[in-house]
Structure 1
């Protein structure tokens, strides 16, 4: 994936696209069991596809938005200590 260029779309397989649309972006997401049956794969294989998809999406976001690395994002959401 090191050949990715900013502005270029992340390449997704047909299964990854199905997981993205039917499970992650849907208003009524399918369960893993339902989606696995639809795709003709095991639930465990679906988890693997989902994991690879999430890695690709995170990687693409890091390339597009390098200022938002994990350390900076963690600092932004870290709760403030209450003053005593």
Structure 2
């Protein structure tokens, strides 16, 4: 059954489903990294203006890293 679906998708769209999956996963990784960089920038700005202490900044960065790694693991698992 999967072979029929793959062939139907390939005929209708002209794109191999495996290549489409790689493209979509790469796009999702890029979006996750852009959002993580935005959070990192906000943390850095808060630290440099004195809104948060060094320990709070380190904790926030570690939290962002853990969340990003969890999202990467989940996306690659799919």
> In which range does the TM-score fall when normalised by the shorter chain?
0.3 to 0.5
- Pick 1 or 2: higher relative contact order, CA cutoff 8 A, min separation 6: 1
Give the TM-score, by structure 1 length: 0.39
Give the TM-score, by structure 2 length: 0.42
